[in-house]
């Protein structure tokens, strides 16, 4: 029997509650599909500060690097807001992404048909569903480029940031996008600002060249301003959206708003092939509802599904989790964040149990 090791970073706030539900689902699906999962918890964020004084202990880094994949809840909360900037819970998150070399962020923006009215878009635009995958470069570009401030001789202060991408950086994220598209709708839209930026012109040239290795995938290019507009105007035209770090930061938040419910959206961050990936919901630690047993665990459960698909290659089990989530939604089972006033919401644990039952 195949055996995989998974590090659990429960984190803070609702993190432990939602990760526990995902573990329930992972255990059930692994029994059904005949593989075994070994779970090892490790500390991150505020919980790690409380126990060790720092948000990312070295043991956590070592544990994550030694496992097949990492499942994270969320970090942060008011308890640690007074920590100095370099010792805040969020530093743990940035630290683990860097330590694991995670250069690709995959964020599906999915609208499930029973929740279509959660989207702020009109029904004639969103229809009964939407399924876009944003592939964002995560460790390059303007967020990591040279920056600084200068004072001119006349005393005028200015500041600058630099967008820089190398060909290998663009190539590796382009491969992730094309390979992802091969498993989906075989269409990549690459986002840039090649009418103005030199870094975008190199981006476009490189993506176009890599596309030749994927003749089955249709490639088109959109300027970022147009892509932002098209996401609102006609999101169904997209399959995989390939973006730089900054463009993806902005467009993925826009896409998640179009999808509607923050408690439904999963994500994965990946490094070099064969290295462990990190899977987490896109929402935060929701301190306002922590400990109440009402958090929506579906984003974390869907992140666990992505973990099976992309890190372990257990595609059937991943499909089963997605189908089970669709079934509980079809059956009208809702946590408070996605329930209509006329519906009686269920708890975090009941939602987890319902997904297990639907498997
Ligand atoms: P948040 O995503 O935690 O919460 C925003 C709103 O959405 C809240 O009303 C919350 O109750 C609700 N919500 C979020 N997830 C939910 C779920 N699964 N089910 C039901 N409702 C849900 O964002 P915030 O309030 O801006 O941040 C809270 C803390 O989380 C801060 O400390 C922030 O730094 C941290 N944070 C962490 C991450 C992460 O770990 N990746 C991401 C964003 C924010």
- Provide mean pLDDT across the span 205-212: 98
In a domain, 219, yes or no: yes
283 CA distance to ligand 1 middle (Å): 5
Q: Residue 2: is its pLDDT beyond 80?
A: yes
pLDDT-based confidence at residue 217 (cuts at 50, 70, 90):
very high
CB 285 near ligand 1, within 6 Å: yes
In a domain, 254, yes or no: no
13 CA distance to ligand 1 middle (Å): 9
DSSP strand pairing (35-41 vs 104-111): unpaired
- Looking at the fold, whether 141 and 49 belong to one and the same domain comes out as no
246, 143 in Cβ contact below 8 A? Answer: yes
pLDDT-based confidence at residue 352 (cuts at 50, 70, 90):
very high
pLDDT-based confidence at residue 256 (cuts at 50, 70, 90):
confident
In a domain, 339, yes or no: yes
Inter-CA distances, 310 with 9, 74, 317, Å: 18, 20, 12
- Looking at the fold, whether 285 and 339 belong to one and the same domain comes out as yes
Q: Residue 19: is its pLDDT beyond 80?
A: yes
In a domain, 42, yes or no: yes
Residue nearest to atom 10 of ligand 1 (CA): 286
Question: Which atom of ligand 1 has the smallest separation from the CA of 14?
Answer: 18
Q: Around Cβ 300, how many Cβ atoms within 10 Å?
A: 32
Domain that holds residue 88: 1-100+276-359
pLDDT tens-digit readout, 71-94: 999 999 999 999 887 899 999 998
Distance CA 3, CA 151 (A): 59
Residue nearest to atom 44 of ligand 1 (CA): 284
Number of domains in the chain: 2
- Looking at the fold, whether 142 and 240 belong to one and the same domain comes out as yes
CB 262 near ligand 1, within 6 Å: yes
**pLDDT reported for residue 261:** 79
CATH number at residue 287: 3.40.718.10
pLDDT tens-digit readout, 139-153: 999 988 899 999 999
**Which one from 33, 253, 275, 326 is the annotated catalytic residue?**
253
Portion of the chain with pLDDT greater than 70, in percent: 100
- Looking at the fold, whether 95 and 138 belong to one and the same domain comes out as no
Q: Residue 67: is its pLDDT beyond 90?
A: yes
Is 143 part of the annotated catalytic residue set?
Answer: yes
Closest listed residue to residue 35, CA positions, set 351, 259, 320? 320
pLDDT-based confidence at residue 204 (cuts at 50, 70, 90):
very high
- Looking at the fold, whether 130 and 211 belong to one and the same domain comes out as yes
**pLDDT reported for residue 341:** 87
Is 253 part of the annotated catalytic residue set?
Answer: yes
In a domain, 1, yes or no: yes
Inter-CA distances, 251 with 136, 260, 349, Å: 9, 14, 32
Closest listed residue to residue 199, CA positions, set 247, 270, 252, 250? 247
- Provide mean pLDDT across the span 15-38: 98
- Looking at the fold, whether 211 and 128 belong to one and the same domain comes out as yes
Question: Which atom of ligand 1 has the smallest separation from the CA of 75?
Answer: 40
CB 265 near ligand 1, within 6 Å: no
281 CA distance to ligand 1 middle (Å): 10
Inter-CA distances, 321 with 24, 290, 299, 352, 354, Å: 12, 25, 12, 11, 11
In a domain, 53, yes or no: yes
Q: Which two tokens mark 75?
A: 């970090």
Distance of CA 66 to the CA centre of its chain: 21
- Looking at the fold, whether 87 and 138 belong to one and the same domain comes out as no
260, 118 in Cβ contact below 8 A? Answer: yes
- Looking at the fold, whether 94 and 196 belong to one and the same domain comes out as no
- Looking at the fold, whether 86 and 159 belong to one and the same domain comes out as no
- Looking at the fold, whether 62 and 136 belong to one and the same domain comes out as no
Closest listed residue to residue 268, CA positions, set 183, 203, 205? 183
Closest listed residue to residue 339, CA positions, set 283, 305, 298, 306? 298
34 CA distance to ligand 1 middle (Å): 35
Distance CA 135, CA 252 (A): 9
**Which one from 4, 193, 239, 310 is the annotated catalytic residue?**
193
In a domain, 266, yes or no: no
Distance CA 359, CA 355 (A): 6
48 CA distance to ligand 1 middle (Å): 18
pLDDT-based confidence at residue 296 (cuts at 50, 70, 90):
very high
**pLDDT reported for residue 144:** 87
Element (H, E) at 198: helix 198-211
In a domain, 221, yes or no: yes
- Looking at the fold, whether 69 and 158 belong to one and the same domain comes out as no
């Amino acid at each position: 029997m195949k055996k995989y090791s998974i590090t659990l970073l429960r984190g803070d706030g609702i993190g432990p509650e939602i990760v526990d539900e995902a573990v329930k689902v992972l255990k059930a699906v692994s029994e059904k599909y005949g593989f075994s999962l070994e779970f090892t918890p490790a500390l991150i964020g505020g919980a790690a500060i409380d126990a060790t004084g720092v948000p990312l202990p070295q043991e956590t880094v070592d544990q994550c690097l030694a496992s097949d994949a990492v499942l994270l809840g969320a970090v942060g909360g008011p308890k640690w807001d007074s920590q100095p900037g370099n010792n805040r819970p969020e530093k743990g998150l940035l630290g683990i992404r860097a330590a694991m070399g995670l250069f690709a962020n995959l964020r599906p923006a999915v609208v499930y048909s029973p929740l279509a009215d959660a989207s702020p878009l009109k029904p004639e635009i969103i229809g009964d569903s939407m399924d876009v995958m944003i592939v964002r470069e995560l460790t390059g570009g303007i967020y990591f480029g040279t920056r600084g401030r200068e004072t001119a001789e006349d005393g005028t202060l200015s500041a600058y940031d630099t967008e820089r991408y190398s060909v290998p950086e663009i190539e590796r994220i382009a491969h992730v996008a094309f390979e992802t598209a091969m498993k989906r709708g075989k269409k990549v839209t690459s986002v840039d600002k090649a009418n103005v930026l030199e870094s975008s012109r190199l981006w476009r040239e490189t993506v176009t060249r890599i596309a030749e290795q994927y003749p089955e995938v249709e490639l088109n290019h959109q300027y970022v301003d147009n892509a932002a507009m098209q996401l609102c105007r006609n999101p169904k035209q997209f399959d995989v959206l390939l973006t730089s770090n900054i463009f993806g930061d902005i467009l993925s938040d826009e896409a998640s708003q179009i999808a509607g419910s923050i408690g439904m959206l999963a994500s994965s961050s990946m490094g070099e092939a064969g290295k462990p990936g990190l899977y987490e919901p896109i929402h935060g630690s929701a301190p306002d509802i922590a400990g109440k047993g009402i958090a929506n665990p579906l984003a974390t459960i869907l992140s666990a599904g992505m973990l099976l698909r992309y890190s372990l290659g257990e595609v059937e089990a991943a499909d089963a989790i997605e189908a089970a989530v669709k079934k509980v939604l079809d059956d009208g089972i809702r946590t408070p964040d996605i329930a209509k006033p006329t519906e009686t919401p269920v708890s975090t644990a009941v939602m987890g149990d319902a997904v297990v039952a639907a498997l």
